[in-house]
Each structure stands twice: as C-alpha cells, then as structure tokens.
Amino acid sequence: MTQVVLLGAAGRMGRALVQALSDAGDLTLKACVERREVPAPPDGSVPWGHDLAEFVAPRDVVIDFSTAAAAVQAAGLCAQRGAGLVSGTTGLDESQEAAFRAAARATPVVRAANFSLGVLALRRALAAVLEAVPAHWDVEIVERHHRAKRDAPSGTALELARQAARRRGYPESALRAGRSGLTGSRPQAEIGIHALRGGSWVGDHTVVLAGVGESIELRHVAQDRAAFAHGALAAARFVATAAPGFYTLEEVVGATATAT
Ligand code: NAD
C-alpha cells in the first residue's frame, strides 16, 4: 500500500485530495502537512504537522499543492529521502522549476500545471486544430479563476500558449499577457493570454483561433477540484513504482493505458 504525505493539506486542493484519498483503496493518507494552524480532525486517525521532514520516508509519495517556496523545498527533501513526488503548484520561476529536474535525477517526479484529464484532451484537440487551420489564424487564450488565485496567467494558459507557439515556430517572446493602450494592430506572431479573476471559478480555459470571418473556440471547464485530485492520484500510483526521472501527465496516462 503506497503511503501518501499531503503538502498544503488545508488548502482548496489539499481538501479535495483528502476526500479523493478517502475513496482510494490502494493509497493510504499517511500525514497531512500544512503551514497554517488548523483544528485537528475529530477522528485523529491521520497526523497533521507543519514540517514535511517529520513524515517523509523512503518510497512514500508526497503530493504537493502549496506554494512555490514549499514545493521547491519538497523537491529537495524527496530527492534526499528517496520519496516520489507529485507536484501541481503553479507560478514557479525557471530556477524553481529547475529544482524539480534536479530532484528527478534521484527520485521519480511528476509535475503538471493541470492534472485534469480533460485538459489533456484539450491539448490534444488544440494540436489537431492547429494542424487543420491556416497558419495565419490568430490564437488567443482566455482563462478564468477564483479571486484568491495567486498567479496570473495560469500555468495551464501558459502551457497552452507555449504549445501553440512551438507549433507555429514563434519565440517565447510571442506570448503576451493582456493588452492596453495604443497597442497598434496585432502582430501575426503573437499569442495573447487574458486572465479573469473573480468569484469561485475552479478553472476555465478557452483557446480562440480566429480567422477572417470565422473562428473556433476550444474550452475546458473544471467545475470541481476532484478533476485535478483524480489526476494527481493517478500520478501518485505511477511514481510509486517508477524509476527516478521527470515525468509528465501524458506519460502517466500513457503508462496507465498500456498497463490496462
Ligand atoms: P490554497 O492557497 O487554497 O492552498 C495552498 C495551501 O498550502 C494553503 O493551505 C497554505 O497554507 C499551504 N502552504 C503554503 N506553504 C506551506 C508550507 N511551507 N508548508 C505546508 N503548507 C503550506 O491554494 P490551492 O487553490 O489549493 O492551490 C495550490 C497550488 O496548486 C496553487 O499554485 C494552484 O495554482 C495550484 N493548482 C494546481 C492544479 C493542477 O492541476 N496542477 C489545480 C489547482 C490548483
């Protein structure tokens, strides 16, 4: 039975994962780690603490949905202890992302800006539509998230934009977050990303492909964080037996499909 240590356990995603783990017969929630003070759960069956190092043992799997600083620390600790890592925290800069690649030399790591299988399907649909429409069609991305989200644009919007940019042969500088003022006409090699914040949206991404006189929209709506939690648990099962390395959700799903 794989033992899971949850980092950021009292957060929105942490709570969804506690729920999903309670329904998973093959994964055991070993401990919950949370920076904030939270009342101990009434049944006391799972220990809660502030320090990940207190709980992580070799071959455990840490699931991280916390903050950039905590995620980077978790990567170092998992590498040191030989524990697998599933990390969904977004908003990391390049040097912070590099910490995961370094950790992956010693232990299996799955990192994804979006653990929903629906977003994986959206990425595949985008690849097919980009192939099918003329190369001069404009690509723009609109994302909506709840008012408490810390980073903008979302990690998923950035990944979708990078996917489109790679397909078109545009440089990273073609990504443009928002527009204002006298911007002039839209350059061909540009991908606009627009972040809406408000209310309780869990996660909503639309890719707009606009030609002259017509357009296509591909949209994914996450209505419940269970969508991300189930993908993260699939990744936890994968890292429990994987060799050290850096894996994407595509690889997790590919391995699961091959095994069944
Ligand atoms: P949240 O703020 O509700 O939860 C984060 C929790 O982490 C908080 O309870 C916070 O106190 C805790 N935390 C912060 N630092 C900590 C530390 N050092 N030790 C222990 N706990 C610590 O945020 P959320 O909505 O649950 O999202 C968390 C992260 O996951 C964000 O970066 C978000 O963008 C990302 N996210 C990713 C996906 C995905 O599929 N990859 C889906 C949803 C959210």
The per-residue pLDDT for 140 is 98
Enclosing H/E stretch for 3: strand 2-7
Residue 46 CA to residue 141 CA, distance in Å, equals 41
- For the chain, the distance separating the N- and C-terminal CA atoms, rounded to the nearest angstrom, is 19
Largest interatomic CA distance in the chain: 61
**Can you tell me which residue has the tokens 């919950």?**
32
Q: Which residues have CB under 6 Å of ligand 1?
A: 7-8, 10-14, 33-36, 65-67, 70, 88-91, 112-115, 228
**Ligand 1 geometric centre to CA of 241 (Å):** 25
Active site residue: 30, 50, 136, 145, which one?
Answer: 145
How many other CB atoms are there within 10 angstroms of residue 110's CB atom?
Answer: 29
Distances (CA, A) of 223 to 133, 184, 208, 251: 29, 37, 20, 25
- Per-residue model confidence (pLDDT) at position 112: 96
For CA atoms 193, 196, 197, 199, the dihedral sign is negative
By CB neighbour count within 10 A (0-12 exposed, 13-18 middle, 19+ buried), where does 93 fall?
Answer: exposed
For ligand 1, the distance from its centroid to the CA atom of residue 90, given in whole angstroms, is: 9
DSSP state of 51: -
pTM above 0.85, yes or no: yes
Q: What is the CA(45)–ligand 1 centre distance, in A?
A: 23
Q: How far is CA 191 from CA 59, 80, 183, in A?
A: 42, 40, 14
**63, 90, 160, best to mutate for ligand 1 pocket (most atoms within 8 Å of CB):** 90
Residues of the chain where predicted confidence (pLDDT) is lower than 70: 42, 257-260
Ligand 1 centre distance from Cα of residue 35 (Å): 11
pLDDT at 255: 78
**120-99-20-158 Cα dihedral, nearest 10 degrees:** -30
Number of alpha carbons in the 13 Å side-chain half-sphere of residue 190: 13
The CB density around residue 249, as the number of other CB atoms within 10 Å, is: 25
What is the atom index within ligand 1 of the atom nearest the CA of 88?
41
- d(Cα 38, Cα 193) in Å, to the nearest integer? 36
What is residue 260's predicted lDDT score, i.e. its pLDDT?
Answer: 60
- Taking the C-alpha atoms of residue 181 and residue 39, their distance in angstroms, rounded to an integer, is 49
Atom of ligand 1 nearest to the CA of 151: 34
Least Cα distance to 128 among 88, 163, 93 occurs for: 163
> What's residue 39's pLDDT?
74
47 CB-contact burial (10 Å; exposed 0-12 / middle 13-18 / buried 19+): middle
Q: Tens digits of per-residue pLDDT, 140-199?
A: 999 999 999 999 999 999 999 999 999 999 999 999 999 999 999 999 999 999 999 999
